[in-house]
């Protein structure tokens, strides 16, 4: 059985197709259950209400880092309602790349919702974007060193910020040849004859 763990068919502003028809098509494709993801307190209420009226649909509740302008007021009350349709807290997390919400507000909301997940023994649906070093490692902004590495072929590799400041990969050490062109070096067989390389592998 397949489960769609992240959908928004409850949000008629975001999802314009008929949700009941969507559920039918999902069943035909083998997707038997779905989780509607709450993105803020209001949307979470809608997700729970929608799930409550559809047997195969469940809901998560929470406030996405893009959706914190209205705060978290009322979120715990939704959880305390005891709906069996609530299966997770989320989508919550940190987004330091595309969200306009100040970082300190994101962190406060994130940690508050983590505590709710712990309190009510619910898993978390987690969003993070460019936030690892700033929060999870509690490190200052990452700055790569200016040292370089000389590859075997003589090219210079610099450190890559998007790869945890590891050196950029060196060019492949294996020569590449066109399919119909091989080096003209020869190999002498034990009987004294010579053989050349054969495309496409040039062996």
Question: Averaged over 87-116, what is the pLDDT?
Answer: 91
Q: What is the DSSP letter of 142?
A: P
Query: Which tens digit of pLDDT belongs to each residue from 110-129?
Result: 999 999 999 999 999 999 88
Least confident of 17-31, 81-95, 177-191: 177-191
Which pLDDT does position 167 carry in this prediction? 82
pLDDT of 66 strictly over 90: yes
Same domain, 92 and 25: yes
Average pLDDT value for the chain: 84
143 occurs within a structural domain: no
pTM, entire model: 0.65
203 occurs within a structural domain: no
Domain count, the chain: 2
Residue 175 · residue 197 · CB < 8 Å: no
Same domain, 70 and 116: yes
Same domain, 31 and 119: yes
Question: What is the CB neighbour count within 10 angstroms for residue 85?
Answer: 21
Query: Which tens digit of pLDDT belongs to each residue from 177-198?
Result: 454 566 666 666 666 666 666 6
Same domain, 28 and 99: yes
Same domain, 167 and 80: no
Q: Which domain holds residue 158?
A: 149-196
How would you class 163 by CB atoms within 10 Å of its CB: exposed for 0-12, middle for 13-18, buried for 19 or more? Answer: exposed
């Amino acid at each position: 059985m397949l489960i769609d763990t992240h959908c928004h068919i409850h949000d008629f502003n975001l999802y314009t197709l008929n949700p009941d028809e969507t559920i039918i098509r999902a069943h035909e494709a083998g997707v038997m259950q779905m989780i509607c993801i709450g993105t803020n307190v209001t949307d979470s209420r809608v997700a729970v209400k929608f799930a409550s009226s559809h047997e195969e649909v469940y809901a998560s509740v929470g406030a996405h880092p893009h959706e914190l302008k209205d705060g978290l007021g009322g979120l715990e009350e939704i959880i305390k309602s005891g709906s069996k349709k609530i299966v997770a807290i989320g989508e919550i997390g940190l987004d330091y790349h595309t969200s306009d919400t100040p970082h300190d507000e994101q962190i406060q909301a994130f940690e508050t919702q983590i505590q709710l997940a712990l309190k009510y023994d619910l898993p978390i649906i987690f969003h993070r974007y460019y936030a690892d070093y700033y929060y999870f490692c509690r490190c200052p902004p990452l700055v790569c060193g200016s040292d370089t590495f000389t590859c075997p072929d003589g090219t210079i590799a610099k450190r890559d910020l998007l790869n945890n400041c590891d050196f950029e990969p060196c060019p492949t050490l294996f020569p590449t040849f066109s399919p119909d062109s091989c080096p003209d070096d020869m190999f002498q067989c034990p009987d004294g004859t010579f053989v050349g390389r054969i495309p496409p592998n040039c062996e």
